[in-house]
Amino acid sequence: MSFAGKVWRLLVGIKDGMVLLFMLLFFSLLFAALSSRPSPGQIREGALLIELDGYVVEESSRIDPLQALLTQTAPVGEYQARDLVRALDAAADDNRIKAVVFDLTRFLGGGQVHLQAIGEAIDRVRAADKPVLTYAVGYGDDGMLLAAHASEIWVDPMGGAVIAGPGGSNLYYGELLQKLGVNARVYRVGTYKSAVEPYTRSSMSDESRENYAALYGALWEEWQANVKKVRPQADIALVTGDPAGWVAASKGDLAKAARAAGLVDRLGSWEEFGSRVAELAGEDPWNGEPGNFAATELAPWLAGTTPGTPGKPIGVITIAGEIVDGDAGPGTAGGTRIADLLDEALDKDLAALVVRVDSPGGSTFASEEIRRAILRHKATGIPIAVSMSNLAASGGYWVASAGDRIFAQPETITGSIGVFAIVPTFEGTAAKLGINADGYQTGPLSGQPDLVAGFPPEVDAILQATTQNIYDRFLGIVAKSRGFDRARADTLAQGRVWDGGSARQLGLVDQFGGIEDALAWAADKAGIKDGNWHAVYLGEGRNTYDSLIRQMLASDAEQERAPAGLFELSAQRQTALSTRIAGDLGRISARRGVQAYCLECPVQSAGKADAPTRDSAPTGLVAQLIDLLR
């Protein structure tokens, strides 16, 4: 009995110890979560420090905590463009902020529309007699477009600046697939619909090259004009016309070459840069180490400068990233998720609706699902404005066609009105491996689609006819929306991609302007006076554990100042290349069906994994064909 009592007390002690341990772990995590949240109490007088260690995006992705913790990899930082603009505008009017500092050391880029909007906000800060300074080890095209608006541009003496201009190479797998015996069956409509070319060709077609030349030529002209306007001393012609001679003149010193070409103002380390900021904004009273200065970081600044909600609400629905079937997102435009958000907002008595699009397109089914949900708001009689961001192409334009008025910027990429589908079959691969398919069919569609034996002519004909039907449907939507006859709509379509300036001249876009212009137009059409409305972003709300997960997974190496010279940028390109190949192969192997997707459109956060789609198992030929097409 004595022995049993001792065992019992031991078990009770173990149980109490485990309970205590779990309680300590729970409260530690709770404290970490609460302390990781930005607090307005962290705002202090000095500089506003904006450390852009990632991409500028339209809508930040939500972190999958399980995946992040299992891979032990900190997600790439994403900063919403509208948050940065709001932070800068608030800093311009707040006496606590003496200067604004951008740390662009680990900046990965953003679309031209976003960067131009942030640049204009920087101009407003400077107009309020507050200096704006940027620091980086290396500036690329996107970093330079942003930094050009600053009062002082600093670069590390070990770094530099290189301007490349838009463009580059695509990967073409036609010859590889042929060697593997894979038959990439392509069904498309659109002379310029080049999204399928990587799977059927070994080089770019003349039509695609023509389209790329016009699009990238226009974007390059806009980039140069925007930089020269705010930084006339920058000798862009020298830097891009004879880059080797330009660097050689400074004996290979990229930092000195950048200063000689007027791309940067001063060379210095982070400590020297910090001392300069301290002269303008004050020294850090809590940390006297070299390079420190009094500063408020972005997250607490945004938390302490929440905009008011005067007057009537105007809804804003964000369609960002690839358009896919299902509930994916934010950061990916899941058709069902966005349609549900719009339907839930029908009960919110919105005065108007603004559709913000930053998407290269994707699923035609999901695009139509979103368009129908927008039309349900239109049926209530409220005005609908569309605000195009960097991209509103293909499926993105399909969605935009539901608006009463379309706003875009000259740098916006739009159009790409065309559709395609790719279905790989493996009869060639099977033959190489000695695998033969045989059987008995009661009709030409028996057992179809057969990915091993291949498709009979009847299946090819059905799939091409269905693709043509969806293109005709797309064409009809555009023609009705824009007041075109079908012949003119077809001329502007054919998968051709347009810059915003060309799209406006052709009537695909109504006027130039950003989201604020779209909101103002919607308010005016709703009969609301200035200042008597506020924007409500439907579905907005970031998980509270995002910042906690980033803090837990951010390694010491990631917190250091990573160099960004040409060799380091080459390493980054290698990572991007592997991501691109995985994405290309995923596009041909996944069950995506008929797509309205723009290959020419550069997607900033290219490292994101493909979003999940519906995964119902099809049964029977018709169901399988519908699944393929969807």
Catalytic positions are 193, 394
Rounded CA-CA distance 151/133 in Å is 6
CA separation for the pair 629, 421 (Å, rounded) = 7
Residue 560: half-sphere exposure toward Cβ, Cα within 13 Å? 6
DSSP character for 109?
B
- Which DSSP state fits 391? E
Cβ count near 137 (within 10 Å): 21
Q: Is the dihedral of CA 509, 322, 487, 199 positive or negative?
A: positive
b/e map 489-504, b = 16+ CB within 10 Å: bbebbbbbbbbbbbbb
Residues 6+ apart with CB under 8 A from 207: 191, 192, 194
Amino acid at residue number 338: I
Contact 330, 320 (CB under 8 A): yes
Peptide bond into 313 cis (omega under 30): no
CA distances from 282 to 188, 287, 305, 311 (A): 61, 12, 22, 39
Which whole-number Å values give the CA distances from 10 to 21, 170, 382, 461, 557, in the listed order? 16, 67, 70, 76, 45
* Residue type for position 448: Q
Q: What angle do CA 335, 583, 397 make, to 5 degrees?
A: 40
Torsion of CA 53, 59, 60, 63, to 10 degrees: -160
Task: Give me the residue label for tokens 């991501």.
Answer: 579
Measure the CA–CA gap between 107 and 604, rounded to whole angstroms. Answer: 12
Per-residue H/E/C for 434-491: CCCCCCCCCCCCCCCCCCCCCCCHHHHHHHHHHHHHHHHHHHHHHHHHHCCCHHHHHH
- Give the β-pairing of 419-425 and 183-189: antiparallel
Strands 361-363 vs 595-597: parallel, antiparallel or unpaired: antiparallel
**φ/ψ (deg, to 5) at 216:** -70, -30
Residue 236: helix, strand or coil by DSSP? helix
